[in-house]
Amino acid sequence: MVLVILGLFTAVAAVRLQQPYRAARLRDVVERLAFTDQQVRVHARRFAQSGQLVWDLDKNLIYARSEDTGDLPHFRVPLPPSARLDRVQTRRGQIDRRQARIDVTSGGQTPSYAVRLSTADGGKQWLFFSGITGQVTLLEVESDVQKLFQLLDQGGAHAD
C-alpha cells in the first residue's frame, strides 16, 4: 500500500512539474534568440559594419554574416531539439526561403521582423523583433503579428 501511495505522489509531482519545465525551456530559447539579435546589432555598431542575421530553418540555427568578413563564427546559435524555427516574416510578408536573411545596418538596425518557434509539445510562439531597438515582444497568434506590421505600415516607411 505504501508503495502505491508513493507511486501516486511521484506521478502527481511529475505531471505538475512538466508545464513549468516546458515554459522554462521555451524562455531559454527566446532569451538565446533575443541575445543573438542584440549582439549582432552591437557588433554592427561597434565595428560600423553592415551584415545579415541569417535564420536557417533547415538547420534550426541562427548566425550572423558580416559584409566584410563573411560568417561570424561566434554568432552561431543552434537551437535545442525541443524548439524549431519554422517561419520568418517581415512587413513584406513571409520569407519563403529556408534561410531567411535579415539585413543589419552599420548602425545596428534591422527591419522589424517576426519569427515563429514550434515546440516539441505542439506549442507555437511568435517573437516580434522591433527594427530600431531590437526589443522582443512575445505573441501567441499570427493575427497579432499582422496587426503590428499594419501599425508599422500606418506609421510610414521609417516606422521600423
- What pLDDT was estimated at residue 126? 94
* Nearest alpha carbon to residue 100 among 116, 114, 88: 88
- What pLDDT was estimated at residue 156? 60
Q: What is the mean pLDDT of residues 122-134?
A: 89
- What pLDDT was estimated at residue 9? 72
Q: What grid cell was written down for 121?
A: 509539445
- What pLDDT was estimated at residue 17? 60
* Nearest alpha carbon to residue 55 among 86, 81, 80: 86
Which pairing describes strands 83-90 and 113-119: parallel, antiparallel, or unpaired?
A: antiparallel
Look over the chain and give the mean of its residue pLDDT values, rounded to a whole number: 84
- What pLDDT was estimated at residue 110? 93
Tell me the domain boundaries of the chain: 2-159
Q: What grid cell was written down for 95?
A: 520569407
> Is the model's pLDDT at 103 over the cut of 70?
yes
| Complete DSSP assignment for 69-131 | TEEEEEEEEEPPTTEEEEEEEETTEE--SSEEEEEE-TTS----EEEEEEETTS-EEEEEE-T
Contact 100, 55 (CB under 8 A): yes
Residue 7: DSSP 8-state: H
> Is the model's pLDDT at 127 over the cut of 80?
yes
pLDDT digits (tens, 9 = 90+) for 60-89: 989 888 877 666 666 788 888 888 888 999
Q: What grid cell was written down for 59?
A: 538547420
pLDDT digits (tens, 9 = 90+) for 14-65: 666 666 667 777 788 888 889 989 988 998 999 898 988 999 988 998 988 8
- What pLDDT was estimated at residue 75? 75
- Per CATH, which fold does 2-159 belong to? minor pseudopilin epsh fold (3.55.40)
In whole angstroms, what separates CA 67 from the centre of its chain? Answer: 22
